[in-house]
A and B are shown apart, each in its own frame.
Chain A
Amino acid sequence: MTETVIRSASQARRFSVDMRTLSPFIALIVLIIAGTLINPDFLTASNLLNVVTRSAFIAIIAVGATFVISGGGLDLSVGSMAALIAGAMILILNRMGGADVGTLAMGMGAALALGAVCGLANGLIVTFGRIEPFIVTLGTMGIFRSLVIWLAAGGTITLRNADLREIYRPAYFGTIAGIPVPILVFLVVAAIGAVLLYRTSFGRHVIAIGSNEDVARYSGVPIWRVRTLTYVIQGICVAIAVLVYVPRLGSATPTTGLLWELQAITAVVVGGTALRGGIGRIWGTVAGAVILELVANIMVLSNFVSEFLVGAVQGAIIIIAMLVQRSFQRGR
């Protein structure tokens, strides 16, 4: 969890930055205590594992979003992209028809390739078209979403081969040494992301572009290449999330991944990454994704919130969690 942030020069600044880095984890601990007080069933291993496993999709996507956002960009298309990749992957698996690991590997490879291509498209349009990423990805969001509706003819795309589904099922439901596979996947993705962002020149370039594009350009950072690559990383992360998503229900529908983009962006911001770019925190993002899922879980487990008010209480908890974080930063 070592994080280098470019702007932390003095000793005092460094300390405050550390508090900022820690605050999402403090919010996480506070939520866990609150959850336990509300319902003792909350603190069971099975419940917590369920929640963290469920947060895997958003966490993996949000790791990619951390790159895009800390580089000063934005990607609204991730939810639709996830639906499209899931749909395409299932159709490819159905077409190949086999029920063996080789078929599965081909399908997974195709999904990763498609994710990279979707991300590349976003990145190239943003950099070469010189259009606001908000507009570009809003456009591709619509395009990806309609493509999946078209592929599904409005219905559901289902993995038809039952044997193949059983082979693939452990990718979501299986465990290695007691830890569910999706959790391992998102830890690995986050670790790779952390190394990439904090330990490589590419990562430093991303942060540099995000803090000040002109300065970065004059310093010789290849702007378009770095920026395009952040979108490609985002695309690959979406594809990895899909690889864990598909085995869960074995299907994709036109509503798959709806509003995931908002959840991913929220996770990134709750984790301490600046929405305007220039600061990126991978592990904070992971904590943010788990926080979002925990809040939803606590809502269902609590007995005193009417189902009509769940959304309001959820929103309030997220705002309060952010306020608590901020107060920690000011206190130092």
Chain B
Amino acid sequence: MRKTTLRLAAAAGLLAGLATGAMAQDKKNVTIGVSIPAATHGWTGGVVYHAQEAAKQLEKTYPGLKVVVKTSPDGASQANALDDLTAQKIDALVVLPFNSDELTDPVRAVKKRGTFITVVDRGLKDPAIQDIYVAGNNPEFGRVAGKYMVDNLKSGNVVVFRGIPTVIDEERVSNFEKALEGSGVKVIDKQYANWNRDDAFRVMQDYLSKHPKIDAVWASDDDMALGVLEAIRQAKREDIKFVLGGAGMKDMIKRVMDGDKMIPADVSYPPAMIATAMNVTAAQFFTDAPMRGTYVLNAQLITKDNAKEHYFPNSSF
């Protein structure tokens, strides 16, 4: 999908160049600064990988483009990193903020210097700052998972694993439950397991002691799904038909591709959205196509048929 965007953008740039004749693409010098969280857990590790890959690709596609990727371990250092990036005279900033509150003002300061701003995943408190906003779709993430349960189970008992108490988690879980409404599928238990393998293992062991019959597990995250699978294997329980994770970790996508019975599907929440944002931002400078706006990436159901598109064996995530 990334490649198509790229090609489209390149084609558009070429057309524009031909049409006006005067627009000599290779004379144009643009610097894009990319500020993202450091790889502190799997998903952000994926963000770092995809940002670096996209930087290489974009610099090859658009001669004259320079992409500077900077990672920061926490919100305060990210604010400092923004200063460092502005000092390098960037024309555009692609930022995946640590949190909305802390980084709204620092990003606003960058904007005031005339920099083009693209915000990714976590929105700023003042949406007027951003020129482009690229995000995953958390409500849909829950909805797609819920619909999959209804379509495949028709009726039965489901246990739910929540992540860390955040807006993201709340949006996912409430929409998951909404999708189950009126069907025969019932949520019999939900607990926080902090998007953590060990916690998920522990909670799943307890679920198995508590509930004699569980038909499916919504682990809501691939890391948690791995802990869940290990607990099920230990208990040798046969009643659980499948485990549905989420996010698109390469190990899990591989299992979907290989047709693992316990992992028949996954729901995407791609860290590669940073690459989407960088592509759109670059296109803003090198093509005449209008790019400003909000891009919400679908939370896609990944099954055996389309798993290949979501498989990045070289990514750390």
Using a CB–CB distance below 8 Å, which chain A residues touch chain B?
39, 41-42, 44, 46-47, 50, 54, 149, 152-156, 158, 173, 248-249, 251, 253-256, 258, 296-297, 300-301, 307-308, 310
Contacts of A308 in B (CB 8 A): 165
7 further interface pairs, Cβ-Cβ under 8 Å (given A153-B45, A154-B38, A251-B226): A149-B40, A152-B39, A154-B44, A156-B317, A249-B201, A255-B197, A256-B198
Contacts of B179 in A (CB 8 A): none
Q: How far is the CA of A158 from the CA of B223 in the complex (A)?
A: 12
When the two chains form their complex, are residues A296 and B234 in contact, meaning their CB atoms are under 8 A apart?
Answer: no
Q: How far is the CA of A46 from the CA of B207 in the complex (A)?
A: 12
> Which chain B residues in 147-176 approach chain A with CB under 8 Å?
162, 165
> Contacts A152-B45, A155-B45, A253-B42: A39 and B210 contacting too (C-beta < 8 A)?
yes
Total cross-chain contacts (CB, 8 A): 95
Contacts of B251 in A (CB 8 A): 156, 158
Main secondary structure of the interface of B (DSSP, over half): helix
For residue B192, CB closer than 8 A to chain A, the reply is yes
Q: How far is the CA of A46 from the CA of B237 in the complex (A)?
A: 13
Q: How far is the CA of A251 from the CA of B225 in the complex (A)?
A: 13
When the two chains form their complex, are residues A41 and B210 in contact, meaning their CB atoms are under 8 A apart?
Answer: yes
> Contacts A44-B209, A173-B234, A249-B198: A154 and B41 contacting too (C-beta < 8 A)?
yes
Contacts of A307 in B (CB 8 A): 162, 190-192
For residue B86, CB closer than 8 A to chain A, the reply is no
- Among residues of A, the one whose C-beta sits closest to the C-beta of B48 is A154
Contacts of A254 in B (CB 8 A): 39-42, 45
Q: How far is the CA of A72 from the CA of B29 in the complex (A)?
A: 62
- Among residues of B, the one whose C-beta sits closest to the C-beta of A156 is B42
Q: How far is the CA of A258 from the CA of B49 in the complex (A)?
A: 24
> Contacts A258-B196, A310-B192: A154 and B209 contacting too (C-beta < 8 A)?
no
For residue B46, CB closer than 8 A to chain A, the reply is yes
- Among residues of B, the one whose C-beta sits closest to the C-beta of A308 is B165
Q: List 26 A-B contacts (CB under 8 A).
A: A46-B209, A50-B205, A152-B316, A153-B39, A154-B39, A154-B40, A154-B44, A154-B45, A154-B48, A154-B316, A155-B315, A156-B249, A249-B201, A251-B226, A253-B42, A253-B223, A254-B40, A254-B42, A254-B45, A255-B197, A300-B191, A300-B207, A301-B206, A301-B210, A307-B191, A310-B191
Chain B nearest CB from A263 CB (Å) reads 12
> Contacts A296-B202, A300-B210: A155 and B42 contacting too (C-beta < 8 A)?
yes
Name the contact of B203 in the complex, choosing from A46, A173, A251, A300 (C-beta under 8 A).
A300
Q: How far is the CA of A47 from the CA of B206 in the complex (A)?
A: 7
- Among residues of A, the one whose C-beta sits closest to the C-beta of B223 is A253
> Which chain B residues in 220-277 approach chain A with CB under 8 Å?
223, 226-227, 230, 234-235, 249, 251
When the two chains form their complex, are residues B202 and A54 in contact, meaning their CB atoms are under 8 A apart?
Answer: yes
Contacts of A300 in B (CB 8 A): 189, 191, 203, 206-207, 210
Chain A nearest CB from B150 CB (Å) reads 23
- Among residues of B, the one whose C-beta sits closest to the C-beta of A298 is B206
When the two chains form their complex, are residues A54 and B205 in contact, meaning their CB atoms are under 8 A apart?
Answer: yes
Contacts of B191 in A (CB 8 A): 300, 307, 310
Contacts of B197 in A (CB 8 A): 249, 251, 253, 255
Q: How far is the CA of A307 from the CA of B317 in the complex (A)?
A: 29
Q: How far is the CA of A296 from the CA of B199 in the complex (A)?
A: 11
Contacts of B198 in A (CB 8 A): 249, 256
Contacts of B39 in A (CB 8 A): 149, 152-155, 254
Contacts of B234 in A (CB 8 A): 173
When the two chains form their complex, are residues A41 and B209 in contact, meaning their CB atoms are under 8 A apart?
Answer: yes
Q: How far is the CA of A307 from the CA of B46 in the complex (A)?
A: 30
* A-B pairs with lowest CB-CB distance, top 9: A154-B39, A154-B45, A155-B316, A300-B206, A47-B209, A155-B45, A153-B316, A50-B205, A301-B210
Which one of B234, B235, B315, B317 has the greatest number of beta carbons of chain A within 10 Å? B234
- Among residues of A, the one whose C-beta sits closest to the C-beta of B162 is A307
When the two chains form their complex, are residues B202 and A255 in contact, meaning their CB atoms are under 8 A apart?
Answer: no
Chain A nearest CB from B236 CB (Å) reads 11
User: How would residues 123 to 136 of chain B score, 1 for a CB under 8 Å from any chain A CB and 0 otherwise?
Assistant: 00000000000000
Chain A nearest CB from B68 CB (Å) reads 19
- Among residues of A, the one whose C-beta sits closest to the C-beta of B315 is A155
Q: How far is the CA of A50 from the CA of B234 in the complex (A)?
A: 10
Name the contact of B46 in the complex, choosing from A44, A155, A256 (C-beta under 8 A).
A155
Contacts of A39 in B (CB 8 A): 210
Contacts of A44 in B (CB 8 A): 209
